[in-house]
């Protein structure tokens, strides 16, 4: 009996999208065409996969954001906010003028490498 499209897709995912270490999660999102092309060009320029490039850029951005936070706020960064804690964090960000690339990452985007 012929398999449905959903069954074929599930079989493909089982074969091709397995993570032997269990440390990967699927990310499904839409980005602008210019952003996609930048990702492709940068990955090709550095000779790495798009996934590795994205992981490295995120790690660097997080490191810079943490470096800009006081020690007590760094622990809060890793706590998953819930309930009233979300409102408290939102109010805190608004009170300080909002989170921007410039104040979260004082070195600026030009120094990302």
List pLDDT tens digits, range 55-78: 999 999 988 888 888 887 787 777
Which position has the higher pLDDT, 9 or 14? 9
DSSP state of 1: -
pTM, rounded to two decimals: 0.59
Predicted confidence at residue 113, as pLDDT, reads 40
What Cα–Cα distance (Å) separates residue 5 from each residue in 2, 15, 37, 52, 98? 10, 15, 30, 30, 46
pLDDT digits over 16-59, tens only?
Answer: 777 677 777 878 899 999 999 999 999 999 999 999 999 999 99
Q: Band of the pLDDT at 108, cuts 50, 70, 90?
A: very low
Nearest-angstrom CA–CA distance, 74 and 33? 34
SS3 of residue 32 by DSSP: coil
First vs last C-alpha separation in the chain: 53
Predicted confidence at residue 105, as pLDDT, reads 44
Q: Band of the pLDDT at 109, cuts 50, 70, 90?
A: very low
């Amino acid at each position: 009996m012929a398999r449905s499209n959903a069954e074929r897709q599930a079989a493909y995912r089982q074969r091709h999208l397995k993570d032997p270490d269990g440390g990967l999660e699927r990310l499904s999102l839409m980005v602008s065409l210019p952003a996609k092309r930048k990702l492709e060009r940068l990955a090709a320029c550095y000779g790495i996969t798009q996934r590795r490039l994205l992981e490295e850029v995120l790690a660097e951005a997080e490191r810079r954001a943490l470096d800009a936070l006081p020690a007590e706020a760094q622990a809060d960064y890793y706590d998953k906010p819930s309930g009233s804690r979300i409102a408290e964090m939102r109010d805190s960000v608004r009170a300080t003028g909002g989170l921007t690339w410039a104040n979260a990452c004082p070195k600026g985007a030009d120094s990302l490498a």
